[in-house]
Chains A and B, each alone.
Chain A
Amino acid sequence: MHDLALQKPGLVGRMFRSLKLPLSDPFAVFGLAVYATFLLTAIFADAIAPYDPTEILYTPEYELASDLRPGEQGFILGTTSLGRDIFSQIVYGTRSALIIGITAAFMVALIGSVVGLVSGYFGGWVDAVLMRLADIAFGIPFLPFVIVLAAFLEPSIWNVVLAMALVLWRDTGRVIRSQVLTLRSRGYVDAARVCGSSDLKIILRHIAPNILPLSFLYGSIAIGWAILTEASISFLGFGDPQSISWGYMLQDAFASQALAKQAYYWFVPPGICIILVVSAGFFITRGYENLLFPKLGR
């Protein structure tokens, strides 16, 4: 790639810079810090969690370690009715939450960006077909769609990712298309055509870098959406029983009547985690809003 050799910073550096992480906004920095913390937790879950989250634990007296309060017998956040370590479940729940969130966000941002770029750049019947597909996607109620999908397929965390990829590209695609429409009419795009650049090259070099912050913005919204959706699905009992997630923990706590037992240590931590991750996503989004639409003047 000769053209890359001409540019000073490397490809990774350029991509990182074109993401334009909103580091000047304190809310966005808080959001990024929350994400960083959860990301580290997810990566090093094996080292952080003291127990296997699905293992049924016993006290040294060989009694079932069920419904222990935080701190009792050395369990940081206590145990569930079936004698599982809540802290370990939280830690492993981070992993599945982030896997779902990031893959779903990646799919949404990727599909949305590609649809938006193709639709906006080529226009004509391609645009008409893709935008009518987006209309159809807008007509699908999201949560019922995920439930139906989960009913047809094996229960798995990937159902949520698949459903989001199938439905939620619509917003990203629309917004990016409109952005591409304005970029396409810029003189330098015509100039690139006149000097012989192919459509693919124009899209990749002249248009895509300008919409990257937008797709990252929609990606960060989608992370929160995916985690929230997975939690709802698991809470409704359509989740994957094999993998521990925060939604599964809430459902488990609900089914075991944790509220009646006043076992706040069981359902409050996963709830806080969900709130933290989702709101962190929105704080980052807010930072991007200031960057992308400086005229709002917030």
Chain B
Amino acid sequence: MAGTRMRSAVTYSNEPLVSLRSAELHYRVGGALSALRGRSSVVKAVDGVSFDIHRGESVGLLGESGCGKSSIGRLLMKLEDATGGEIVFAGEPISGLRGAALKCYRAKAQLIFQNPFDAVNPRFTIRATLAEPLENAGIPAGEREARIIAALELVRLPQPAQFLDRYPHQLSGGQLQRVVMARALILQPDFVVADEPVSMLDVSVRAGVLNVFRDVRDRLGLTAIYISHDLALVRYVCERTIVMYLGRIMEDGPTEDIVHEPLHPYAKALVAAVPVPHPDQSHDPLPIGRGAPDPRNPPSGCVFRDRCPRAFDRCASEVPQLRQIGTRKVACHLF
């Protein structure tokens, strides 16, 4: 599959930094007893997802809640072990990382959390929170203070020194999210996953945090995955977008192409659902009806077919594979 992949216009190095090869994360629901009675079911949070991310690329993972986008983030951070497939970072599968190699990986791949109020220990001062990754990386105590200040300056927290001895509850959401970003960036990682970093923040401070994220990413040349349910945010931050639905990739391509001319019916519905800021312009969300189906019992064939306005016979019998259509890949029998 990697061989047929078309290179995008920007020149990235040939070797992908991160690649998922039909990665799976299946949860068994129900205990051992119901398994014996044949009643246990499997939730396929991530079901055969493959993509490559090249060094310096930013990719948006887009989808509604429960589609498995955060699970991919957790898989990439090795917070969860894949139940199938492979995740490769810099040429090495991360499933086998132990001990020192794992510690090394932890320094290179970092996660920015969704809820800053939950992502820092309320008993720790900002200094102790930011010192933890430095301790783990074996940075001598004398250098830590300077590194902490530098990281807080990087995320544009004004007068960082005054925050060091404060506790999380004394900071605002925007300030705390900057601290969370500083913790992710303090070891100068190569790869960052941002899991809806502004969804818990007030609208008024979102733009500030987003701009910091963009600037830092460009300045440090980070490879980034930006997980969001908001197409507008993904468009603001990422040049490439992967649209997910029920644990599978529906469409994968340059963000602008997807925004202007979505191919997959689900991507079309997502784009049509974005509010239009003009009263005269007609706003016509596509009728995809109801909510997502029960993830324990997804439809056969294409998982989207029961909501798809253009579904036909083949959709029920055959799972559509991701295929290259022009600049992007689409998993739909219409193409």
Contacts and interface: CB of A to CB of B under 8 A. Distances in A.
Contacts of A190: 74, 77, 79, 111, 113, 119
A192 interface: yes
A194 B102 CA distance: 10
Contacts of A206: 121
Contacts of B74: 190
Contact of A195 (B110, B118, B128, B144): B110
A193 interface: yes
B31 to A, nearest CB: 10
A2 interface: yes
Contact of B183 (A186, A193, A195, A201): A195
B120 A196 contact: no
Nearest to A189: B121
Interface string B100-128: 00010011001101110011110101011
Nearest to B117: A187
B133 A196 contact: yes
A195 B119 contact: no
B150 interface: no
Contacts of B110: 194-195
Query: Number of contact residues on A: which range applies?
Result: 20 to 34
Contact of B135 (A3, A191, A209): A3
A6 B121 contact: no
Given A2-B141, A6-B127, A196-B137, A188 B183 contact: no
Contact of B115 (A187, A197, A210): A187
Nearest to B103: A196
Given A188-B120, A191-B113, A197 B128 contact: no
Given A3-B135, A6-B131, A187-B113, A194 B77 contact: yes
A201 B132 CA distance: 10
A194 B94 CA distance: 13
A197 B137 CA distance: 9
B316 to A, nearest CB: 37
Contacts of B65: none
B118 A187 contact: yes
Interface in A173-208: 186-188, 190-197, 201, 206
Nearest to B122: A188
B136 interface: yes
Nearest to A8: B165
Interface centre among A186, A188, A192 (most CB of B within 10 A): A188
Nearest to A198: B136
Nearest to A197: B136
A5 interface: yes
Contact of A209 (B123, B127, B133): B123
Contacts of A188: 118-121
Interface string B177-208: 00010011001000000000000000000000
Given A6-B128, A206-B121, A196 B113 contact: no
A37 interface: no
Nearest to A128: B32
Interface residues of B, number: 32
Contacts of B144: 2, 6
Residue among B106, B121, B165 with max Cβ neighbours from chain A (10 Å): B121
Nearest to B123: A209
B90 to A, nearest CB: 17
Nearest to B107: A196
A7 interface: yes
Interface in A203-238: 206, 209-210
Interface string A1-25: 0110111100000000000000000
A2 B135 contact: yes
Nearest to B135: A3
Interface string A150-193: 00000000000000000000000000000000000011101111
A194 B113 CA distance: 11
Nearest to B114: A187
Max chain B C-beta neighbours (<10 A), residue from A3, A6, A194:
A194
A8 B111 CA distance: 29
Contacts of B187: 195
Contacts of A192: 121, 132
Nearest to B102: A196
Given A196-B103, A196-B106, A196-B137, A191 B127 contact: no
B136 A196 contact: yes
A15 B123 CA distance: 13
Contact of A7 (B79, B106, B128, B135): B128
Contacts of B103: 196
Nearest to A191: B119
A195 B141 contact: no
Interface of B: 74, 77, 79, 103, 106-107, 110-111, 113-115, 118-121, 123, 125, 127-128, 131-133, 135-137, 141, 144, 165, 180, 183-184, 187
Given A6-B144, A196-B136, A206-B121, 14 more contacts: A2-B135, A5-B141, A6-B141, A188-B118, A190-B113, A190-B119, A191-B120, A193-B77, A194-B106, A194-B111, A194-B184, A195-B132, A195-B183, A196-B103
Interface of A: 2-3, 5-8, 186-188, 190-197, 201, 206, 209-210
Closest 5 CB pairs of A and B: A187-B118, A196-B136, A196-B106, A195-B133, A2-B141
